[in-house]
Structure 1
Amino acid sequence: MVSDTAPRRVAVFGATGSIGASALDVIARHPDRYRASVLAAGRQVEALVALCVQHRPDHAVIADDTLFAALRDGLRDAGLPTRAHAGAAALDQLAASAECDTLVAAIVGAAGLSSTLAAATAGKRILLANKESLVLAGELLMRQAAGAGAEIIPIDSEHSAIFQCLRSRDASLEGAGVRRILLTASGGPFRGRSRAELGQVTPAQAVAHPKWSMGPKISVDSATLMNKGLEVIEAHHLFGAPGERIEVLVHPQSLVHSLVEFVDGSTLAQMGLPDMRTTLAVGLGWPQRIESGVGGLDLLTQGRLDFEAPDNDAFPCLGLAWQAMAAGGTAPAILNAANEVAVSAFLQGKVAFLAIPALVANALSTLSVESADTLAVLLAADQRARLITQAAIDHA
């Protein structure tokens, strides 16, 4: 329970991104309950300093070590007492320290894993937006969290919806009488297009998501449906759900964020406007409900709600994620790493859109799967997948 006299200290990792902005918006609405005590960004020093001027945290971290002096000088020139830090070790140390009670884990990609693990080991409440932490090291992360009494609350819309429907991430599917979990997907900007029609799409078209404002990598993942595949793996770990109890529904309006079907025939759905501030407010306030700044859902003005099956032929990344989840071990880490390299190459104009699933499939078929017992094994698999995928791009 948040004290009436001491606001909960929140570290926002990925503060300069869209999720960070939404988190800081909600935090600022409740100064008596929450305080942004640590802000972290990757390379955007000026944007980070500007956020520090606005929110006055105790600590600011820039992930790129070479930018420490720029951050330190920027904070000094702004007349702030905020302490400057740089590098991955600083992120890990602050995530695990008494400087925060809660971590908003919104660093994009595998770079966010180490600090998320550090917070889990320290028993923090983690508002998890970094899906790669679960995809790359789901078994390890959940084991660490359980051992330390850490609380992981998902803040992507689909898993937040499932969390809210189940009321607890610890509820076993059997004990809760759950028959299946239905993850919804917007379908991305290319919903309805055939595989042949996807051959010439551009990065600009791929990042133009019809419903959500996201970074380029996540937007491309949404366009390929890899984002939904990663979320299937996340749901498997977050809720202890076997693959056969997880299904995907395309829902272009993005108003029903996911559903849970119970054995008695009841289906609970969580609905709302597509705004990340809602799920962040759930994560910050749970089990209480707090004001997020998001308006209510007027179904009369929204009109119809549509649902359809995903097109696995046009969007094979979803099937590749199911394949990796079924294989287990290091397979999800291979999938994630290959996808990160492939998406980066696509955004740079080095490969075509349809090369993304081909490159991921190549990594999965080339590399052997090992048991995911330690972080070292997972990171080694991640590195091998990156090297193989980059080599395939270079020789294409």
Structure 2
Amino acid sequence: MTDSPARPAPLADPHLVYDPVPGDGPKDVVILGSTGSIGTQAIDLVLRNPDRFRVTALSANGGRVALLAEQAHRLRVRTVAVAREDVVPALREALAAEYGSGEPLPEILAGPDAATQAAASDCHTVLNGITGSIGLAPTLAALEAGRTLALANKESLIVGGPLVTALAKPGQIIPVDSEHAALFQALAAGTRADVRKLVVTASGGPFRGRTRDELAHVTVADALAHPTWAMGPVITVNSATLVNKGLEVIEAHLLYDIPFDRIEVVVHPQSYVHSMVEFTDGSTIAQATPPDMRGPIAIGLGWPERVPDAAPAFDWSKASTWEFFPLDDEAFPSVNLARHVGRLAGTAPAVFNAANEECVAAFLSGALPFNGIMETVIRVVEEHGTPVTGTSLTVSDVLEAETWARARARELTATTATAEARA
């Protein structure tokens, strides 16, 4: 099995700057997923740097309308987008409470396409901080509208693969994942021809060092106890299974056009080195900061400029130990499975991602054991068969593959739950 054919140039290149609206003054920014972890940290960065950034629109699912209204008022945005139409009355009430008498309220967009509309609105940069493959449509909309895309929603690139690469212009995507922001910065140290391999670091999650048998009876609480990062439950479980690292391998391949056999994963428990690039002369360039997502967010919003004091720096006067270990592929088969579906390309990554999202939800609800997550995902990927690939791939193909994968994963999960109940 061989890697998919290389594109003429990498999707993300620190040497290329895509500037859709050249000029002085603050960059106009749209933040998608504003009430989530990435969104709230991005807003903190913006509020501390009003001379650099100005937020014009916010989008959120709608579960935290009070926070969304507060953000809208503090940032004085033009537009607020919410996915859930049923929360619009509560959002209007919350906005009215935040805004003073006579202050004009922002425009409200509501419904499943609201974030997509916001992504296509007038701005310089769109930060896609939505979680899950529902971020695909906003990603495509931002690219098609000619915006710079600060991409924290890795799923949209993974499931949309060729659809995203067909739209993105050189330098238009700036990665915001800590690992890919690290690779992006390290790649600035050489040319594409100088790169020998990419080294993606993994914390190892809460179960580093455990065997597959030892993982059989871990609990949801165990899986959510990440040792270094504070994240949402889905991303935290993905870190425990290392599915997140598998997704990042696919993302690195798509962003930087490096073959899968030249993308390595190593375990680094301290999470200080976010990733590394090994060059052909034997040099390795590592990007390191204390664990804090505001640094990668600042790269995504500010590149090619750096934002002073975006995140904490190391105190090099203090002693510290940094460790690196090989990945245990038997206990954590997700990375090799991700390489497999990445090589298949087409709809295969969408099937992998959708099945995993369903299985994580089942695990969090107590309907599936921890090891059952990957066992079920592997089976769904195997049953998917030959994926739709090449230039014939459409958004409909991706959505259809996702729908099938989710339904099949739910069927298998229900069967597992029934068998365990009888046992």
Pick which of 101-110 and 57-66 moved more. 57-66
Does 2:40 align with 1:21? yes
Tell me the residue number matched to 1:104.
127
- SS at structure 2 position matched to 1:254: coil
Report the Cα distance in structure 2 between the residues aligned to 1:131 and 1:66, rounded to whole angstroms: 28
For normalisation by structure 2, the TM-score amounts to 0.88
Report the Cα distance in structure 2 between the residues aligned to 1:226 and 1:181, rounded to whole angstroms: 18
Does 2:326 align with 1:306? no
Does 2:411 align with 1:391? yes
Does 2:168 align with 1:145? yes
CA contact (8 A) 1:64 1:86 kept: yes
Pick which of 134-143 and 252-261 moved more. 134-143
Tell me the residue number matched to 1:94.
118
Match of 2:388 among 370, 379, 395: 370
Match of 1:63 among 72, 75, 83: 83
Cα deviation for residue 119 of structure 1 reads: 0.1
Report the Cα distance in structure 2 between the residues aligned to 1:289 and 1:47, rounded to whole angstroms: 28
Report the Cα distance in structure 2 between the residues aligned to 1:237 and 1:49, rounded to whole angstroms: 36
Tell me the residue number matched to 2:288.
271
Tell me the residue number matched to 1:136.
159
Tell me the residue number matched to 2:26.
7
**What are the superposed Cα offsets for residues 82-134 of structure 1, whole Å, 9 maximum, x if unpaired?**
22221232221221121x22111010001111111100111111111101011
Q: 1:216 to 1:259 in 2, by over 3 A?
A: same
Report the Cα distance in structure 2 between the residues aligned to 1:179 and 1:317, rounded to whole angstroms: 24
CA contact (8 A) 1:4 1:32 kept: no
Report the Cα distance in structure 1 between the residues aligned to 2:67 and 2:375, rounded to whole angstroms: 37
Does 2:70 align with 1:46? no
CA contact (8 A) 1:281 1:290 kept: yes
For normalisation by structure 1, the TM-score amounts to 0.94
Tell me the residue number matched to 1:157.
178
Report the Cα distance in structure 2 between the residues aligned to 1:16 and 1:259, rounded to whole angstroms: 31
**What are the superposed Cα offsets for residues 139-178 of structure 1, whole Å, 9 maximum, x if unpaired?**
21121112xx66111111110011001129xx9733xx11
Tell me the residue number matched to 2:143.
120
Report the Cα distance in structure 1 between the residues aligned to 2:326 and 2:353, rounded to whole angstroms: 24
Match of 2:277 among 260, 267, 275: 260
- SS at structure 1 position matched to 2:370: coil
CA contact (8 A) 1:75 1:84 kept: no
Q: 1:144 to 1:5 in 2, by over 3 A?
A: closer
Pick which of 344-353 and 226-235 moved more. 344-353
Does 2:195 align with 1:178? yes
Amino acid across the alignment from 2:117: Q
Amino acid across the alignment from 1:84: I
Query: Any unmatched runs of 5+ in structure 1?
Result: none
Cα deviation for residue 181 of structure 1 reads: 0.4
CA contact (8 A) 2:29 2:56 kept: yes
- SS at structure 2 position matched to 1:301: coil
Cα deviation for residue 335 of structure 1 reads: 0.4
Does 2:57 align with 1:33? no
Query: Any unmatched runs of 5+ in structure 2?
Result: 1-18, 417-423
Report the Cα distance in structure 2 between the residues aligned to 1:116 and 1:60, rounded to whole angstroms: 18
Pick which of 218-227 and 43-52 moved more. 43-52
CA contact (8 A) 1:232 1:246 kept: yes
Cα deviation for residue 138 of structure 1 reads: 1.7
Task: Work out the number of aligned pairs and report it.
Answer: 389
**What are the superposed Cα offsets for residues 184-213 of structure 1, whole Å, 9 maximum, x if unpaired?**
000001101111111111112211111111
- SS at structure 2 position matched to 1:303: coil
Report the Cα distance in structure 1 between the residues aligned to 2:232 and 2:38, rounded to whole angstroms: 9
Amino acid across the alignment from 1:377: D
Report the Cα distance in structure 2 between the residues aligned to 1:172 and 1:114, rounded to whole angstroms: 32
- SS at structure 2 position matched to 1:354: helix
Amino acid across the alignment from 2:199: L
**What are the superposed Cα offsets for residues 229-287 of structure 1, whole Å, 9 maximum, x if unpaired?**
00000000000111111000100111111111111111111111110101111122111
Report the Cα distance in structure 2 between the residues aligned to 1:137 and 1:167, rounded to whole angstroms: 26
Tell me the residue number matched to 1:85.
109
- SS at structure 1 position matched to 2:198: strand
Report the Cα distance in structure 1 between the residues aligned to 2:92 and 2:345, rounded to whole angstroms: 43
CA contact (8 A) 1:95 1:116 kept: yes
Cα deviation for residue 5 of structure 1 reads: 5.8
Report the Cα distance in structure 2 between the residues aligned to 1:302 and 1:385, rounded to whole angstroms: 48
Q: Which structure's relative contact order is higher, taking Cα pairs within 8 Å and 6+ residues apart?
A: 2
Report the Cα distance in structure 1 between the residues aligned to 2:326 and 2:332, rounded to whole angstroms: 12
Cα deviation for residue 297 of structure 1 reads: 1.2
